[in-house]
Amino acid sequence: MCITNANIKQILDDLGCVIIAEIKSREKDVFIINLPLCHIYGFITLLSAFYNAAMIVIFPFEPAIVLEDIEYYRTTRFSGVPIMWQMMINHPDFTERDLTSLDRLISGGAALAPELGRRFEDVVGKRIGQGYGMTETTGTGTFPVKWLPEGIKINSVGCPLIDTDAKIVNPDTLEELKPNEIGELLIRGPQVMKGYWKQTEATEKTIVNGWLRTGDLTRMDEQGYFYIEGRTKDMIKYKGYKVMPREVEEKLYEHPAVLEVGVVPAPDPNIGETIKAYIVLKPEYKDKITERDIIEWSKEKMAGYKYPRIVEFLNVLPRTAVGKVFRRKLRDMDSEQK
């Protein structure tokens, strides 16, 4: 199924909305920017602050300082990757600081666990929106929107930007899928790259008939909201079932002892591959809970084919420069152990 610029404009007309009302600059906006400016996410956040003629506060990320400065500067906008939100939510100062000035909150770079989003909203009273983008889409392809009937959905990356088309297709046949069917996300629009510099073959594989193949498994609901399910290369094939690591991770975050989690496929001599979870425990649970405890809890909370068969505790998860869980390193760790 495809949602297009025309669809969005029709929704706006039906609602009596004017898009400029959502993007025009506002007085007294304050941005705190902790994202690396060399990365497209940080760069686009900086440009957004410039566009809004906002006050900009830039410093390396440290949760206690961020929380203090949100209160001090009466920050209105904050963008971060899930690990940044997680560290802020789990910090003791989170419930002690006045964060009511926050208005527009964005999480990107990876999926934000719904449990974290709910905890933030329960305390602050504001919902964190999620967006989706790549360097190849100049940072943004979909964005959380307040003007659609259901507003910002806590586990959705929103809808395509104006002048941007998106569709979900079968990765093998490129046939468009129906609502709520999981397939590959394709995007086209003025912000999509023309191609990779001097890499004709890679460009031809990525840009097909004007559409950018993102490599991300996604679904779209009946209202046109998009949901990122994971990368095609990260999918775990367990006994014929297809398991997305994100689904398992989101459920594990509901366990009170789990601080961070990364789920990957692990080699299995009998069935090919199985499900493994690398977990960082909250400090107060260290030495008080075992890997077997987590597995038994997971059995009760997840479908029989989804729960992790192997759990390993780590002191810290490997992450990329922008804070995503570095799944390739987790897979490599498992291979090295074998």
Task: Please write the tens of the pLDDT for every residue from 97-142.
Answer: 999 999 889 998 878 888 889 999 999 999 999 998 888 998 888 8
Q: What is the percentage of the chain residues whose pLDDT exceeds 70?
A: 88
Q: Is the pLDDT of residue 15 over 50?
A: no
Q: Which residue has the tokens 């003791």?
A: 92
Bridge partners of 77, per DSSP, are 31, 104
pLDDT at 337: 57
Q: How far apart, in whole angstroms, are the C-alpha atoms of residue 4 and residue 305?
A: 36
Mean pLDDT confidence for 18-30: 54
Question: Measuring CA to CA, which residue among 56, 72, 52, 74 is closest to residue 64?
Answer: 72
Give the model's pLDDT for residue 3. Answer: 46
| Reported confidence tier of residue 25, pLDDT bands at 50, 70, 90 | very low
3-class DSSP assignment, residue 228: strand
**Binning pLDDT at 50, 70 and 90, where does residue 314 land?**
very high
Q: What is the pLDDT of residue 147?
A: 55
Which pLDDT score, from 0 to 100, does residue 39 have? 86
Closest by alpha carbon to 45, among 3, 75, 86? 75
Q: Kindly tell me if the per-residue pLDDT of 2 is higher than 70.
A: no
Is residue 16's pLDDT more than 50? no
The secondary structure of residue 43, as a DSSP letter, is: H
Confidence of residue 270 (pLDDT cuts 50, 70, 90): confident
Please state whether beta strands 142-143 and 258-268 pair in parallel, antiparallel, or not at all (unpaired). Answer: unpaired
Going 30 to 35 to 36 to 39, the CA torsion angle's sign is negative
Give the pLDDT confidence of 141-191 residue by residue, as tens digits: 887 766 565 678 888 998 898 889 999 999 889 999 999 999 999 999 999
Distance set, CA 34 to CA 31, 71, 85, 270, 290 (Å): 10, 16, 12, 46, 35
> Cβ neighbours of residue 84 under 8 Å, at least 6 residues apart?
34, 61, 63, 66, 323
Q: How confident is the model at residue 327 (pLDDT cuts 50, 70, 90)?
A: confident
pLDDT single digits (tens) 228-265: 888 777 888 888 788 888 889 989 999 999 999 999 98
- Residues of the chain with pLDDT > 90: what percent? 54
Range with the lowest mean pLDDT among 9-18, 227-236, 260-269?
9-18
| Domains observed in the chain | 20-130 (3.40.50.980), 235-337 (3.30.300.30)
